[in-house]
Amino acid sequence: MEIEVLASLRPELDRFAREFDDCFRTWCSRAHLRRYMQGQLSDLPRKSVEPIALETGVAPRTLQEFLSIHRWDEEAMRDRVQEIVVARHAHDQAIAVIDETSFAKKGDKTPGVQRQHCGATGKTDNCVVTVHLGYVAGSFHALLDGDLYLPESWHQDRERCQRAGIPDDVVYRPKWQIALERLRHACSRGIHVKWLCADEAYGRVSEFRIDVADMDIRYVVEIPCNLTGWLPHRREEEGARRVDQLWERGGPVWEKWRVKDTEKGPAVWEVRAVRFCPQEEKVVGEEQWLVIARSVVDGEVKYFLSNAPKETELGVILHVAFSRWHIERIFEECKTETGMDHYEGRVYRGFRRHLTITSVSLLFLAEQKERLSLKKGGPDSHSSRSAAPWKRNSGIECLRVNVADG
């Protein structure tokens, strides 16, 4: 954020930060929160502790101690973010978005670092991975929670964990389990989401899908092409088949849908939707929606599974399926606007606190964008908030393309 813009928002930032004052024991720590957020929201090229401290006029060691050893409650701060979302951004069609992100790192001291797939570099690299829960209501989005993925190599080396300040109760968990824990906690704090979307790393896990459904949440998750199951009218006639081999010829009619508007124009996908029973632990699962989408531009094929009711409109399912762009935008904003990937500490508590403050700074940015849009009478005005998210200007409005339109 440019210095002039940040300066004009300084009173708003101070008012917003006051909502978190009771998470801290001393006025000194409260002041450091404001300094850290100010640094994250500034136009500093590097938003780690040292440049933030120098920019805001305190000693780097002081700000390091604020993150690592000062006595304040980062979990209460995380919960306050969720309380604010409940109070000011609740929507009966809200969407939870699950995804992970990674931060390339040098050395072996950052908690959880190892050579593993790094989305930031697109290859196996030395990095840290975190799993996050995003929240979407129309054009508004926020980061509700996030946690470190602790690799098995770290889990098995408790001395190394101890040196990094990782508590004994922080252990290896598959990423889908971390996601479920964050979702359950958010729901326990009053967050209501009607829908959930996630990529195939989560959608492929039947236990993940079943647990989300048991929480009375409708999911639309991407699944791998080798997931198996049955078309309802054929399950007694043959064994389970891969979703990419259900039809050797023929099959449902392809319909063209505009599912996303990009800088290069509308993204159009050809879509098939049928009822389908996935194979769950070698038995027939409950009947659901199977949606197959094929990009008109490059032929990319995506497979989605949804427990939405049978009468649900296809446009609604597609809207949720392609709402994953919000979490990608969230990560982009976190890394380009607030320096989420600039943490250089070696202590687990400091890393967790950095993630938490980043979600606070992102929420401040999101609310300011919404406030300025309302002030200008933009598309996010209160008159549109009663409309369903896919009817509003949310970056995606799934529309069936008429044959005459091409």
pLDDT tens string 328-386: 999 999 999 999 999 999 999 999 999 999 999 999 999 998 887 766 665 444 434 44
pLDDT of residue 264: 66
User: How far is 249 from 95, CA to CA, in rounded Å?
Assistant: 36
Low-confidence ranges of the chain (pLDDT < 70): 1-7, 234-237, 248-249, 261-265, 374-398, 401-406
Q: Which residue has the tokens 């929507």?
A: 91
User: How far is 382 from 387, CA to CA, in rounded Å?
Assistant: 10
Q: Please state the φ and ψ torsions of residue 353, each to the nearest 5 degrees.
A: -65, -35
pLDDT of residue 113: 97
pLDDT of residue 261: 65
Query: Rounded to whole angstroms, what are the CA distances from 82 to 19, 79, 338?
Result: 12, 5, 19
Residues 76, 316 contacting (CB under 8 angstroms): no
User: How far is 69 from 361, CA to CA, in rounded Å?
Assistant: 21
* Closest to 399 measured CA to CA, from 221, 256, 222: 256
Q: Where are the domains of the chain?
A: 1-72, 221-323+393-405
pLDDT of residue 380: 47
Whole-structure pTM value: 0.91
Pairing status of strand 95-104 against strand 195-198: parallel
CA atoms within 13 A on the CB side of 405: 10
User: How far is 369 from 96, CA to CA, in rounded Å?
Assistant: 21
Residues 64, 345 contacting (CB under 8 angstroms): yes
pLDDT of residue 38: 94
Tokens (6 digits) for 128: 């840290």
pLDDT of residue 238: 73
